[in-house]
Amino acid sequence: MSRKKKNRISTGGNMPRPGQPYPTTVVLTQPKRFGIDIADFTAAVKTFENVDYSLRYKLYDLYADILMDTHLSSVLDKRALAVLSSDIEFRRNGKPDETVNEQIRSPWFRRLIKDVLDAKFWGFTLCQFYRNGEWTDYDLIPRKHADPVRRLIMCRQTDITSTSWDEYADLLFVGNKDDLGLLAKAAPWVIYKRNTTADWAQFSEIFGMPIREYTYETDDDEARRRTVEDAQGTGSLAVLVHSKDSTLELKESGNKTGSADLYERLCERCNSEISKLILGNTLTTEASDKGTQALGTVHMKVENLVAKTDRRFILDTLNYDMTDIFLSLGINTGDGEFCFIEPKDLNEIKAEIDILATLKNTFNLPIDDDTLYEKSVTKKPENYNELKTQVQAAPEPPAPPTPPKKEPENEPNPQEKKNFANRIKSFFVHAPRDGAALDW
């Protein structure tokens, strides 16, 4: 087996820039942008999937072009921020290791997390690591110049054979060698939206602005010349010049408002399909007439599941794929693991504490004190054992005195009740028996 080289893979153009080595390992080529349609997309996919002579640069040039779409770039950034906004730390035997954490708090590590996550969108990511003084750093190998199937580093993007990347040390490959990436599914929607927006702009220019009409005397070339000069020198609106004996008819769209709505709905559909592809939902990026708070909550849960899957993908790469690379760079990650520091919601903390209190007070189940400290996000004091002994040795507080029982008041006996009723009855006079009226 050939011994791996320790030199780095260098990139540059045909004309070396100051400070760049010459000759370079990879000669970069300007990506092709703009003017791309569905035919270019299908041709790029077919070239990529060619079994014998696969060329990827056409598809990756198309990816570089569609990333200029504002909606696609914004949802990609939103998905990446869900991972980049979470802190990562290395723990050995359950405790943070500051020697490793000092390295991963540096800027190169955040760039690495973003590039590793991009493997889901581009299909793969290839990096070469090296030491930069006291710190670790890496270079992202241009995807157009890497062939994951044959494991080649190509000098030019159109090369079919080149140097095996097994000759270079400290390379990290993330992804699937035959994966097109999620950008392949987003590309048609971006292309359709871009072409629709161009047609919409042309529609607005034609039917949204007035047209100037100039007429001149028939068979009068001098009048025609002056008319054309006047039309060209008075603004940029559309101009129609014709002779008086010719007829001009403008055939306008029957329903211009409906045509404009058609363009807008198609653009909205393209954006919604891109959002569902990248984020798994639509309501967290755009408002909807049919959207409700309950539906928005469901969509947010789906987006959180996507972010959770991305974080697991990052941890699998750090804990498994990069173990040998970290060791070769002098970073010992044995007997430890990388993990995300998950911030806890106060409502979740309160719910967990209530459950523990119910288990202890109602069912009299023993609960470990360390569990209570962990669930309540409270730091355990250093002299915990001493404080625990003092609490156990302290006498129990006396129970509060029981209030005296209130005796019921003496109720009157039946004879007293009867006498009282007679007194009340004697207070009123009897009504006349014959129904006669009283003499008032």
In 10 A of CB 128, how many CB atoms?
20
Q: Go through 277-291 and write b for each residue having 16 or more CB atoms within 10 A of its CB, e for each that does not.
A: ebbbbbbbbeeeeee
Burial 60-71 (b: 16+ CB within 10 A, else e): bbbbbbbeebeb
pLDDT recorded at residue 385:
77
**Stretch 87-102: mean pLDDT:** 89
Which position has the higher pLDDT, 379 or 99?
Answer: 99
Specify the pLDDT at position 440: 43
State what percent of residues in the chain have pLDDT above 90.
Answer: 32
What integer pLDDT is reported at residue 15 of this predicted model? 80
Could you give the angle at which helices 70-84 and 293-316 cross, rounded to 10 degrees? 70
pLDDT score, position 320: 93
| Other Cβ atoms within 10 Å of 97 Cβ, number | 17
3-state secondary structure of 323: helix
Q: Going by C-beta distance under 8 Å and a sequence separation of 6 or more, which residues neighbour residue 148?
A: 124, 126, 173, 175, 177, 178
Instruction: Quote the pLDDT of residue 11.
Output: 86
Render pLDDT for 150-190 as a digit per residue (tens, 0 to 9): 999 999 998 888 889 988 989 999 999 999 999 999 999 99
What is the number of helices (H) and of strands (E) in the chain?
14, 13
H-helix or E-strand containing 95?
A: strand 95-96
pLDDT band at 233 (very low <50, low <70, confident <90, very high): low
- What pLDDT, in 10s, does the model give residues 1-55? 445 666 888 888 888 777 777 778 888 888 888 888 999 999 999 999 998 888 9
Strands 146-147 and 336-340 turn out to be unpaired
State residue 390's pLDDT score: 74
What pTM, to 2 d.p., does this model score?
0.71
22-33 pLDDT tens trace? 778 888 888 888
247 pLDDT higher than 70: yes
Q: Domain spans of the chain?
A: 11-185, 193-291, 346-393
Between CA 35 and CA 40, with CA 38 as vertex, the angle to 5 degrees is: 65
Q: Looking at residue 406, what is its pLDDT?
A: 62
Give the pLDDT band (50/70/90) at residue 216: confident
